Structure 1
Amino acid sequence: MPVPGSASPPLPRSTAGLAQALRGRLGSVRFLMTASGLAFILVVNALIGYGMLLGRREALDAGERATRDLARMLESQTLRTAFSVDQLLRDLAFALDTLPDGTRRGSPAIHDHLRERRDSFAELADLVVVGADGLALHHSAEAPLPTVTLSDRAYFAGPRDGAGQGLHVGAPIASRVRTGTRIIPFSRRWTDRNGGFRGALVAMVDPNRLAATLESRDIDRKGSVILALADGTVLLDRPPGHDAPARVTDWPAVWQALAAHDEATIRDVMPGSDAAGPQPGVDSLVSVRRVQGYPFVIVATLPVGAALAEWRRDTAAWTAIGTVMTIAIALLTAFVVRQHARREEDQARLARASRRIRGILDSMLDAVVTFDSAGRIVTFNRAAEMMFGVPEREMIGQPIEALIPDARGGANDRDLTALRRDGHAFPVGFTVSDLRLGGSPCAAASYPASVGALRPDEPRIYVGVIRDMTRRKQQEAELIASKTQAELGNRAKSEFLANMSHELRTPLNAIIGFAEVLDSEFFGAVNERQKSCIADIHDSGRHLLDIVNAVLDMSKLESGQFELCEEAVEAHEAVGQCLMMVRDRAAAGGVAIHNEVTAAVATLWVDRRAFKQVILNLLSNAVKFTPGGGSITITAGLDGDGGFALTVADTGIGIPHDFMADLFQPFRQAENAANRRYEGTGLGLSISKNFIDLHGGTLTCRSAPGAGTAMTVWLPAERVIDRAIKMDSHAAPAA
């Protein structure tokens, strides 16, 4: 137990470390960012949840108002009907007392009067006048008067036994006039001049007509209404068939509300109509009312589910919005935290790089010297000490000219002469850059050059990189000698290949010829496996011969030994012959060829083989680099100066812009990887251009990646023979 006033004992190492880690975690920016994001998510979802609760309360309040409006609607209709019926019965009593046949049973005049009054009142099904003996005196129906006594009917017994003169309403009964329908009897006591009981005046009201206003306005589309007597007897319930109780007294909550208040709104489960007792029903909002002045009770209900239907849809939408916002905030928080973590990592790497930069400078093979605007040396790395043979401490403050006499003259990044301590001169490369610092000059070698405007109070430091060029000068001399020797060797190679054309082509032609003889089964039948091998030998020989021919043509062109064998050639015939060689390959690749050089265009004075080789190379490239579904179009004609132009245009993959400069270089291809998609030696266009150049023409290209390529061969006018000269003249055009 510690003594009061003494120092508290130190925390255990594990506890202290945990507390320190916790403080570090709570104080970190990443933790604060994460906590802020989570708090924002909680606040957003709390607001959305609070809005949902308010919306639910408002939906229930709106449902309660709807039930009250529904009850008031039925109350208004009931009051209007009851008042009209009461007034009608009063007028009928006055008419019966006034007319002479009022008390005579079955009077036609009274029957017509009753029928006229019934037809003028839409809610009435029948009007009946019952005498004091219980027999019907008059009625509005077309049927004969009933002969049975009606004294046992409630609508007769009520006015007879009742002391008041008011309106009596009975329970619904089956109509004797309209079979299959039920009616509500409204009756009133009929008295003589002395107040004696003379009979009962009865108005039979059609309940369907009583609810006509509700149905016409579609009030009970979601809810329901009940019209009952004061004793709980149900007179009317809408919509028909809904699970309403047989009597309002079977609904304890409603009956208790009516006992306490003339108007109330409650929430309860509507009981079933089973006589055995209330059954579980629908949770509903219930509005109850007593009709003032008449023995009616009105109950309007609306299912809670219907009242909350729109709220549930809104809740689903807000839940989705909350989910999306939660995900968006979480992703944004994670992104910000990640960016901050990367920034911290970058700062840590920058700090490590700043600590290592001095060591890097000291480990550099090139001499690095920093100096101020006056040319005084500020730092001198280890490589500089070794290069000039002088320690750094002796060079600090010395002018840069002590090392390189011409350091301040001329342009940057140039070859100069430096002096070692012993006075020996040697060639160096000297590169100067501007280093801007915010601290002391002694820190010049510890920080990289900054980027931005230089402050007036900021010292200007220059970084000079000095490289010993002695070995490089020797290598340059050796390189020049090697280049000269390589050019001589390349010329000898070209001359050798040009001279070896016969030796290279003869065995290949023999291989191809024997393969064709074997395939024709001249020496005997061969099986399918042998025919396949013979076909491979033939195809490989043809491919190798094409490559040898291209290489030999290129060698002859480079060595200047290619000689043109000129003759008159019809352009359209040469194009047609070349198309025959590529048409099958184009058809196999799904490429359409449109030849617009089908008629005689011009007769050219050219080397037939070279000219056809150019056209064939252009067509082969167009087929090779045009995907299935594309097309190739060949056009030709004379230009305004009389020159001949032939264009091969395709809808292929096009040529990259950065490759256009090397397009006609030998052995160059846009794809140089070993796994390139298109095979070839890269000599076709180079040979074609050389052939056209030998004819004094040009080969040009227009292309864009993905938009196709158009190669145009142009020959000067002197290569075009006048059409009047016949092909068999073999006369060359005048120069």
Structure 2
Amino acid sequence: MPVPGSASPPLPRSSAGLARALRGRLGSVRFLMTASGLAFILVVNALIGYGIVQGRREALDAGERATRDLARMLESQTLRTAFAVDQMLRDLSFALDMLPDGARRGSTSIHDHLRQRRDSFAELADLVVVGGDGFALHHSAELPLPAVSLTDRSYFTGPRDGRSQELHVGGAITSRVRPGTQVIPFSRRWLDTDGGFRGVLVAMVDPTRLAATLESRDIDRKGSVILALGDGTILLERPQGYSGPARLTDWPAVWTALAAHDEATIRDTVPGPGAGPESGTDSLISVRRVQGYPFVIVATLPVAAALAEWRRDTAAWTAIGTVMTIAIALLTAFVVRQHARREEDQARLARASRRIRGILDSMPDAVVTFDTAGRIVTFNRAAEMMFGLREHEMIGQPIEALIPDARGGANDRDLTALRRDGHAFPVGFTVSDLRLGGGPCAAASYPPAYPTGVGALRPDEPRIYVGVIRDMTRRKQQEAELIASKTQAELANRAKSEFLANMSHELRTPLNAIIGFAEVLDSEFFGAVNERQKSCIADIHDSGRHLLDIVNAILDMSKLDSGLFELCEEAVEAHEAVGQCLMMVRDRAAAGGVAIHNEVTAAVAALWVDRRAFKQVILNLLSNAVKFTPGGGSITIAAGMAEDGGFVLTVTDTGIGIPSDFMADLFQPFRQAENAANRRYEGTGLGLSISKNFVDLHGGTLTCRSAPGTGTKMTVRLPAGRVIERPTDIGSHAKIPAA
């Protein structure tokens, strides 16, 4: 506790200072830019990580489905074979009962009958009829009947002792008829007419034929399958050379799963002596019992095989995440550095502004300077006295706040201004145009009207306007009511226009500000910049222009997608539109060493189309042709009438062509043939999509024919209803086939 009368510790003051410093740090634009970049990096990598984890789960699910499908395939083959064998043995029992030689040993007719049945059944290795004494009565082999007793064989003792009419299946044995051959015996009891035991009918099934379906489809290349009896005796193992457990009872996980369920999918290590390719491998295992027959099927797939493709994808996504992280970090560092330089330039601009402030304040007339957007930059003392407003209240406000009709006509005109109390009074308003890149002009209109010709002011050149305002109250008192009405009408009309253009302004204004500031810095009006700074300023300007083009394209695409794009149709000469578009791309083509051949005749056609949309389609096609045609190549543009009376325009180049697998996505927005971060050709992938939509709105078609290395031909077709003038003679381009 503090001692009474002593000074309080300075903790609250220190805490307040720390809080202010923290708020200042968090409010720093550079800090926010850096934090945004780091957050973006974290989000991108988190999404990639989530995709990798989800992909592993999906890969394991697909592996489980593959093992189940493999088990079901063997089950289907086994069921078909078992059912066919069972039915054949039933038919054989009936035939033996009906034939007089059925019980006579070594009958030739019975032998021929058995051989025919064996040959018609691909899975059968042999058919044997065993008498009640255990000796063979008939068989389908070419060898003589064996004279040995078969009472030691389970396929005889099982049906004999079991007294069941069900199909009996025994373990794989070595055939006595074909030495060295393994067979699986299927047997049934043979009864006489009184129901007494007459013998056993045996079908020897070739296990290699039983798995023919699996081997023909190579589905066991990565996994394995086991066919076993219900007691665990293994009948069949694939692939060849596989060495698993001797019996299924030696595989605890599988045997436990079979005891609990007729069908299950588990994950376990495949046991074995180590000789097989799967031995000791972590695997996905599907087990199932064959309903109606004493079979058990086990299918395995190594987890490594199931995850092989996922591992390749993980490596690719990890590389992508690394590249994106580096790119975002570099971009964030670049933007932060550029912002710091901009702050330095603004400081120099402020010092220059203070030097000219004295000149403005000494003038007897009201002097207001404003930028191209109409926002007030300076407001001298005479203006403060005339309007009853302080300068700090007007900085950044539109010039219309003082003179509502400032945008309404020629320079040096009589207008109406508003004082602080809302009182309107007439003024004379003269605007001088100060070119930041080339000195002042004597007078200029506002908003600016850009002239043409040598030495003319470019539309993108930085500007500042100096407005001189004189009070004209005495001369204009009689006109005050009329001017006020006009001002109200103009305000209402401007509000409507601003509402309709709000979306475009909201998107374009920040970009125009970036471009304008870059141009101000590049002009060196407020101070010299070095070469490195010039290069950075140029990058900012070019990037801003490029982004503005992208925003315009996206706005067009948004209007097209939402159905809000309306055509402003008029009569357009096709050859004039083509010529104007060629002027826009000719310099870029010449710089790239690409020749352009214009084969569009002057009298080709007059079309009823939206002029801007039609020219945008031609310009997009020409720009793409120039972009994707190497130096030394050529571009040909031609137009004419189709056989059905429509209009056809083609743009053909000798460029790199388009891959066939990308043609289906050619007119999809944001799709490009090269999507890698280091692709060779820039662009948003919107040009062809917008062009296709524009042509569709006109009822036409836009098609492409291309192949890699042979160039591309883009064809625009408009219906006959769009052609409003058909010349009688248009030269060699009069007719272009409609298809």
TM-score band, normalised by the shorter chain?
A: 0.3 to 0.5
Larger Rg: 1
* TM-score of the pair, normalised by structure 2: 0.47
